[in-house]
Amino acid sequence: MNQALLVDSHCHLDDNCFALDRDAVIGRAQEQGVRAMMTIGTGSGPPDLEAAIRIAERYPCVYATVGVHPHDAAKSRPETLKRLEQLARHPRVLALGEIGLDYHYDHSPREVQRAVFADQLSIALEAGKPIVVHTRDAWEDTFAILERDWVPEAGGIMHCFSGGPAEAERSLGLGFHLSFAGIVTYPKAIAVQQAARITPADRILVETDSPYLAPAPHRGKRNEPAFTVDTARRLAELRSEPLEVLAASTTGNWLQLVRLDGLP
């Protein structure tokens, strides 16, 4: 049987836990059939906006995003947005993200999170790039801002999808792809699994969100892009389809969304 070719649509390869073995981590991913990785450029927040670009420039199989995470929204300044406008046009940058709202931790005031989220939607539209959305305990405000300020045809990813069928339907109605991480492999994640079953084949993605949220059977360990295959395998089981079919769907969907002609 041929190896399924996968894309990890969301990982944090700039994390310090990869500092000593990043080459090996990327190598293991490639060995497992993970042909491309999109590493997220929020890093430690402004003023450093190039955390992912530095990695993407070193590895042909790695692409980048840029953005201000909701945790870091309070660090954003007018010059931050100007710099994001410039970086959004970098040839290795495929999307703006991860951006959105996080009301679980409230590391930045909610009104600031909402304003910075809206500002970055404008930057993404101007640059012609899709967005990668982070939402936690903030579904209603996230949907309200997207309904007001986003254009469904521009495309985007609901990253590490954590809602149920109702949130899935609303997200799909706004033009988003749903990206499933290790949570979907956890036995108690019933609502997320239900959402995975109803997601159309042309709107589903897979990710690790590494180094966080390692899928079964690696739960409790450092997550890494090689484990994309474990989440993909569970997704395929939930959807009653072969892993190769799920892999082809998720890889093709990602390539189309980020406007790439093929895998590296």
Name the architecture of domain 6-258: Alpha-Beta Barrel (3.20)
Residue 40 has pLDDT above 90, yes or no: yes
Helices H / strands E in the chain, number of each: 9, 8
Per-residue pLDDT band for 4 (boundaries 50, 70, 90) equals confident
Residue 1 has pLDDT above 60, yes or no: no
Question: How far apart, in Å, are the Cα atoms of 83 and each of 54, 56, 76, 138?
Answer: 15, 18, 11, 27
Residue 75 has pLDDT above 60, yes or no: yes
Q: Cis before residue 241, ω within 30 degrees of 0? A: no
Question: How far apart, in Å, are the Cα atoms of 59 and each of 11, 19, 38, 134?
Answer: 14, 15, 11, 25
Candidates 51, 48, 71; CA nearest to 11 is 51
What average pLDDT does this structure show over 186-191? 98
Q: Which residues of 183-215 are buried (b: 16+ CB within 10 A; e: fewer)?
A: bbbeeebeebbbbbeebeeebbbbbbbbbebbb
Residue 251 has pLDDT above 90, yes or no: yes
CA distance 148 to 66: 22
Residue with the bigger pLDDT between 3 and 170: it is 170
Domain boundaries, the chain: 6-258
Contact assessment for residue 141 and residue 101, using Cβ atoms and an 8 Å cutoff: yes
The pLDDT assigned to 7 comes to 98
Whole-structure pTM value: 0.97
CA distance 38 to 260: 12
